[in-house]
Every structure is written in C-alpha cells, then in structure tokens.
Structure 1
Amino acid sequence: MFPTIAYLDWITGRPEAAAYDLGSSDLRGTGGDRRDPIPGRLSGLAEPPDSVTLAEQIATEYDVEPRNVLVTAGASMANVIAIATALDGPSGATEPGDGQPTVLVEKPGYEPLLATPRAFGGQIHRFVRPADDDYRLDPDRVGGALTGEVRLAVVTNRHNPSGRLSARETLDATADRVGAAGGRLLVDEVYAPFTLDPTARGLGGPTAAGLDDVVVTGSLTKFFGFGGLRVGWLVADEAFVERAEHVAHHFPALAQPSVSLARRAFHHEERLLADQRELAATNHDLLASFVDERDDIAGTVHDGATYAFLEPTAADGDTVAEAAWAEDILVVPGRFFDEPDRVRVSLGRSPEHCEEALSALGTVLDGLR
C-alpha cells in the first residue's frame, strides 16, 4: 500500500556523513540545533504567556482564526493528513462505487507528494512546470490537466526543487481552476518564508492561506532551521480542519516539549528571523555568484532562494552527484525531482561551510569537463 520513497531512502544519513553538505535545504547554520534538547537559539529566551496557544500564534501569522489551524508533527505529517483528508471525501468516507480519485501533482516535484496520495488510493496525474518557462506555475496549464474525479491538486511554493516563488494571485487563479473541477488545492509552503524582505512576517512570502478550496501546509523546519522540533501545521477552512482532526487521530501527535519550544520561537520571531534573513541573504549571494561565474552549469537562482535546480553541461545529474559524493560533497540528483539531467544544490549551512563546499563542487565540475 505504501510505496517506497526513493529520495528519502537515498538522503537518510548523508547530510551527517558528508564533509560538505549542499543537499540540506533548511537554514540550520552550524547545525547544532538538531542535536541539542533545546536549540541553542532558543536557550534562555522567555516563554510566551501561558494563555497563548501555538495554534493561536500560527493563526496570527496567517491572519486566520485558530479554528482554521491544525498543528501537526512536522510538515510531512501535515501533508499526509491533508492528503488523507482530501481523498477521504467531504463526507468523511468514500461512497461505494466511486471511481478512484485523481490527484494532480506538479512536475518536476518532490517525490513524497507523489507517493503519499498514491498510498491513500489516489490516481496520480501530472502537470508540467517547464524548465524553458523557468518552472512558472501556470493556472491554465493546471486547468488543462484536470481530468477524472479530481479530488486534489498539489503544488509547492516556493517550488521544490527550483525555488521559483508564485504570487498569491497566481495561487488564487490556480485554486479557482481546481475548485471548479470539484477539487482542492494543496500548497506546501515550507519554503515560502525564504524572503529577504525585512518587513515580511515570520512565515514570509505570498501565502495561499484563506483562499477558497485551499489547504496550506508549513513548518518551522526550513527557514527557521528548527528541524529537530518536528513542528508543522495545516491551514484550511473550518470544515476541512474538523475532518482533518479526525484523520489525525490515526497518526502520531506532536510532543509537548516541541509545542513549548515552538511557542517560544514564535514569541521571539523578530529576533530569530533577523539572523535567518542575514544567513539566507549571504548564502543566496554565494550560490548566485557560483552559478554566474561558471560556464559549465546553468539555471536560475531565484531572488531570496538558497537552493536551485541546476543543469551541468558536462554530465548528467547522477554523474555529477556521484562524483561529488566520492569527494565527500552532497548534492541531490535531479532524478529524484523528475529531471535526471539536473542537480539540486542547497546552501543551508554556515556561509563558511557553504563557500568551502561550493569551491569543492567547482573542482569536481572542473574534473568532469
């Protein structure tokens, strides 16, 4: 019932084993937060008032009500619950005789967002975000791919793996197409906070939260760099959240220590985000300069993004990733994102680490010329 997720099998253990990590996409900086019971950046910070719940803090970020928020054990679990809820149907149970529900998923895309709906009985269809259009999300292209009993369409924003950011108006138009076909749009927004705008709120760039027929998922993992807490959420209309709460009973709940630390993080978000935005700006510039200065790797490093989906000219993605791994450098082969000619390069560690890692990757690319 549950298909193997090749990317997760492949990546497990590699960031810790690599001398140079250009595979991890969360802004963990020095990386110590994953090992300590209390992340160093949260140590010693005051707690928020006891009356403030984590759901209320998240709701404030999205300008919705707490009843529109379900807190989960990470964004991956939020996606599982959102997909299971959508495929279960509005009544909470699929009626006998119903056809296999269709799930439309972007291509290139993140493999778990294909595997999870397939595990829950979804029939997977794809729509393309073409490389020659710089991976733009096109509502008309989505609409043209909607066939069968569409229950759900799935996109990421920022797009994973390219880093392309879609405007709220684009997400709204996409949701209109999906809603008109009887489905719902799931927008995984774990990378949406990657913005260098100093006035942006903690959850960052344009969000689809509050739009009709949309469920949004997010977490503290990527931009905040608090992956060890495993804190995520989904945001949707009240009826969907109520159904999702029943589905969530079948899955592990979020541990209370993580809830407490997440409340602390949101309480001090302005202080925390200043450092994260500085790290993101520096790492973005490092990656953009690396791509600009080389003639053997092509692709766009989108504004504010610290990762990109790049095409080496001397070899395919697997060859580059294998050659890099032989030199203790981690980059992710594009085959895990539907495009084997490419690699995803992510700068989530300290600028010093990333600068050394890019230099080492450059040496590998030189050797493949």
Structure 2
Amino acid sequence: MGTRKKSSIGQGPAFSRRDFLVRSGLVGAGALSLPALLAACGDSTSPSGSTGTKTLSFDNWPEYIDAETVAAFAAASGINFKYTEGFNDNNEYFSKILPLLSQGKTIEADILAPTFWMAQRMLGLGWLQKLDLSKIPNAANLRSDLKDPAWDKGNQYSLPWQTGVAGLAYNIKATGREITSVEDLFAPEFKGKVGMLTEMRDTLGLVLMGLGKKIDQISTFDDAADGFDKIEKAKNDGQIRAFTGNDYIDDLSLGNFAVCVGWSGDVLQLGKDNPDVRFVIPEEGGTSWYDTMVWIKGSQNGDAVAEWMNYVYDPVNAARITAEVQYMSPVEGVRDELVKLGGDAAELAENPLLFPDDATLARLQSWGSLSEEEEAKFDERFSSIIGA
C-alpha cells in the first residue's frame, strides 16, 4: 500500500489514485471500430439534460479527495451527493461502461474522472455532454496552462480534477548517488532493482523521451516501436525487477527498487516519512498528465454537475483537497490558500513538486491522441511485455 492517508470516503477498494493497474479488457475494448461505436453512441453535441433533480453521483479514483469536502458540499448545496471510488485503471473502467454506453444506455454516475487521453477517447465516442460553463463561474480559476486543450477547445466538455508528473523515484541509500537521467533506469549497476509502471503512457513516455522523441508527435505504433523494444529487452535481461502500480512505493522505501518510474504526489507523501526517497524530473523531461471531470451522456443532473465543479474550483475548497492528496491543483489561487491554512499546508506552498517553476514546466511533455486502431496495438504490445 501507499503512504496516502485514507479519506474514509466512497466505497472503492483501499488503493490510492494510481494503484495496481489491472489490464483486463484492453484489446477487447479496441475490438469495436470507432465508426461502429460512434453509430451506437451518437455524438457529443446533445443538449444538456433536465436539471431539476437534486442528486449527484461522482465516480473517482481512490484516495483522491480529503475527508471534509464531500460532506461540506452536500451540506452547502442540499444535493444528495454520492461519491464513490470505482476507478483503478482507465482501460478497465472503459471496458466496464462500454456495454451500456455503446448501446445508448445510462450508467449510475453523472461525473467520471478519466485521465485526459481517455476523456478525449470518450468524447470521440459521443459519451460526454457539454458543460454549462455559465453555471461554473469559478472555471475562470483554471490554470492558464490547462485551458483550451487541443482535444477540448474552450473546456466545453471537461475540467481537470488534479494534475501530476511522472518522473524518476529513487532511494538514495540504494543508488549511492543522485539520479538525473532516464538512462539510469538501464544502468548495469541497478540490474534487478529497477521498477516500471503498468501505466503505459508514463513508462513508455519516459523511455521514448530518453531516446530523444517528442511524445506529443507520436501517433502510430511504429513511432513508438523503439521504446517498446528497449523496455522488452530490459525485462528479458533482468534489468527490471517488476512492473507495478502504486505499490512501487513499498519496494522503493525498502530499497528493493533503487530507481523506478514514479508519480510526483506519491513520492512527495512518502518522502515525509522516509527522507531517503526522492523524486526527480529527469534531464530528458517528464510526462505531464491530468485527470478530468466529465459529464456523462444520459445524465439528467446538469445543474448539480455544474454546482459541484464550481465548488471545487473555489480556491479555498481546492486548497483543502490539495493539502490532502498532494497532487498539483488545476486551480489558480491554491498556493495562497495553503499559506493561509498554515502548518504543513503552508509548507506545501513552497514545494516545487506541487508548484514547479516555468523552466520545469517547459520540460514536461504530454501524449497526443491515438486512433482506436493504434491504441489497440499499443495496448497489446505493452500487455505482452508486462505479462498482463
């Protein structure tokens, strides 16, 4: 298990945001062609549903909120709010909702929290409804670097929930030196003590950046073949000890992993208890990701959706969430609010993993879009390598 505190909210398993990634259903989810899915689902320009119902359901990743916000929002709004923690993996969740949404049926949740690339995929399938931004005035607090993504101009269909960075985590006692480069994952001195994530885009992304590639320019399997080959060779040679989800932090803390691919928020929390554990964005760069909030097709609770999104985009409420989950907030003004909270929260305001400078941000890269056909090829190859 990770170091993240339990929030005692929701009904999901007690894993953190990016816990062990079950790769079930990957190729099956890609087996239906995009045109066939589009025909079954319709498009994403359907009008907002009736908004009179005072209920709301949000299915999120585990351990991804503080202990107060859900109850505080329900009390302030009068909305019957159901918050659950059903996400463990983007592809797994996609496979779970595919049979219903592809047939034009509804799911229980009004809001889901897919990572941006999966949200883009869902938008293409017609599964998302347009947000009524006139009812979310606090959306103006969205960080400028997150506004108007290429796949969702004007943030009409999504608002970020939390953001983070994948880079290199290491145990200085096990490495005996600082870690600076992606190539350290392949250093002979760390043979058998290297960890990689089962989250394909983060592991593959870092390896490709180490090969000098720009991951936002990769659109075909052939573009990424060198990265897959390098990972597979490292596995076959015994360089890689294991592919893991969030449970990498246990091996990292114990020194079983000298160095591994890791997420900034996890290492930030672990480092409080174990100062030997460190995180670095390698010289080649790190992968930048964000999880979204999206309004699912068929939901009739548009007013409640907007009210929730507006609530968590208030910097005061967003800062409370940040103080707990310790990922980068998408909301401007959170840093000032953390200072006002004092104590440990105020210390977070000075942490470069939560508030990186412009030079650091310039070294981060994000994946572009993949077609359904290419996505299936990526998933199949990566699953064969990691043994999923």
The answer, yes or no, to whether TM exceeds 0.5 is no
The answer to which structure, 1 or 2, has the higher relative contact order (CA under 8 A, 6+ apart) is 2
